[in-house]
Chains A and B, each alone.
Chain A
Amino acid sequence: MLEFMRHWIINIVTISIILILFEIVVPSGKIKKIITLVSGFILLIAVVNPLIKLKDKSFDLNEAMLSDSYYIDRKEVETGSRLLEETQARQISTVYKRKLTTRIEEETNRLEGVNGSKALVVINEDFKSEKFGEITKISVEIKKAKSRAGASKIEPVATVERIDIKAQSGDKEEKGKDKDKDNLKFVDPEDKRLTELVKQNLNKSLEISKDNIEVTIT
């Protein structure tokens, strides 16, 4: 017991001297307060530790400190790898979108009657989901080529359907009016053909539903 007490006291005194030396050496700035706190903790451990060893011989301070350090390091690595994964997924989706846009534009430009195009692709960017990278929407803006020289000078004439003037009831008259309005709304058959062609082409090459493809012709 006397030997234990002797060892304990020497330990405390030595650690106190070392801590004082450290405090002298430490630069006098704002960090000094924290260093004093940590050195106080160390002194406290040095005072309490032999008592614990006397009571429970299996307790190893080094082991406890190592396990704590390991836990902190593991958490740090986990956070770092998660961040890395997210950055990687974001980069992949950016490159994928760019390549897809280029491909769609090239394919559309190759079609007959197209002078130039601009594509916008929307994909599923949630890298945790199983459908990551799935194309949700494609918008294509097409610049129509002039078909023949001089053809553009001819103004297209709106198609007029036969109007039934014998309609008697009010409902029928209204319906007739709506129908007339629809008939007067002009749709260029060339635009319709081009839109259908682009949709069909993208549907075939990218296997995306025609409803998710939006075509604008300018």
Chain B
Amino acid sequence: MDILQIVCIGIVAVVLSVTIKQQKPEIALQVSIATGLLIFILIVVKLTSVIEFIKTFSRKADIDAAYIGILLKIVGIAYIAEFGAEVCKDAGESSIASKIELAGKVTIVILAVPIISSLLDLVVKLMP
């Protein structure tokens, strides 16, 4: 029933935002940011259980924990960057939003550098 809660929160926020937008657009933006944060927190709490499941799954299958760790970090960065970018887009600042997305991409690539270099090392070692 959580999805009902989230959808209701979203619809109420949209109605509020549209009503206020005519008189006070700055408060409408604040309402949209607050709603976004609320839904984000609600989802993140649910996400914790999914992550726990994946961790247990990988431990059972004897998978290197380093992969899962990096993947989790990447997903976290992606969520935060996307959230920030969406808020900026709502406020009409799409240029700042694209900068946030760029920052997210760069951070993910920095995290992925050890993976890429390890892959290269593996390929070199595989060669006779």
Instruction: Point out the residues of chain A lying under 8 angstroms from B66, CB to CB.
Output: 61-62, 65
Instruction: Point out the residues of chain B lying under 8 angstroms from A21, CB to CB.
Output: 50, 54
Given A31-B108, A59-B125, A65-B66: A45 in contact with B118 (beta carbons within 8 A): yes
Q: Which single residue of chain B is at the shortest CB-CB distance from A30? A: B101
Instruction: Point out the residues of chain B lying under 8 angstroms from A64, CB to CB.
Output: 114, 117-118, 121
Given A35-B78, A61-B118, A62-B66: A51 in contact with B126 (beta carbons within 8 A): yes
Bound state CA distance, A175 and B24, in angstroms? 86
Instruction: Point out the residues of chain B lying under 8 angstroms from A56, CB to CB.
Output: 125
Q: Which of A31, A61, A68 contacts B104 (CB 8 A)?
A: A31
A72 in contact (CB, < 8 A)? yes
Pick the interface stretch among A11-19, A105-113, A186-194, A206-214: A11-19
Nearest CB of chain B from residue A137's CB, rounded to whole Å: 43
Contact in complex: B126, A34 (CB < 8 Å): no
Interface residues of chain A: helix, strand, loop or mixed (majority)? helix
Contact in complex: A15, B67 (CB < 8 Å): yes
Q: Which of A7, A31, A51 contacts B82 (CB 8 A)?
A: A31
Contact in complex: A27, B116 (CB < 8 Å): no
Given A38-B112, A39-B71, A41-B112: A31 in contact with B78 (beta carbons within 8 A): yes
Question: How many cross-chain pairs have Cβ atoms below 8 Å apart between A and B?
Answer: 120
Bound state CA distance, A153 and B68, in angstroms? 92
Bound state CA distance, A17 and B109, in angstroms? 23
**Interface residue total, chain A, C-beta cutoff 8 A:** 42
Bound state CA distance, A47 and B70, in angstroms? 17
Q: Which single residue of chain A is at the shortest CB-CB distance from B112? A: A38
Interface residues of B in 105-128 (CB under 8 A from A): 105, 108-119, 121-123, 125-126
Instruction: Point out the residues of chain B lying under 8 angstroms from A32, CB to CB.
Output: 78
Instruction: Point out the residues of chain B lying under 8 angstroms from A7, CB to CB.
Output: 62
Contact in complex: B119, A45 (CB < 8 Å): yes
Bound state CA distance, A66 and B65, in angstroms? 13
Nearest CB of chain A from residue B103's CB, rounded to whole Å: 10
Cβ contacts B19-62/A at 8 Å (1 or 0 each): 00000000000000000000000000001001000100110011
- With A45-B115, A48-B122, A48-B126 given, name 10 new contacts (CB 8 A): A14-B61, A25-B50, A26-B78, A27-B79, A29-B101, A34-B105, A48-B123, A49-B122, A55-B125, A64-B121
Q: Top 5 closest A-B pairs, CB basis? A: A14-B61, A68-B114, A27-B82, A65-B114, A38-B112
Partner-A contacts on B (CB < 8 A)? 47, 50, 54, 57-58, 61-64, 66-68, 70-71, 74-75, 77-79, 81-83, 85, 101, 104-105, 108-119, 121-123, 125-126
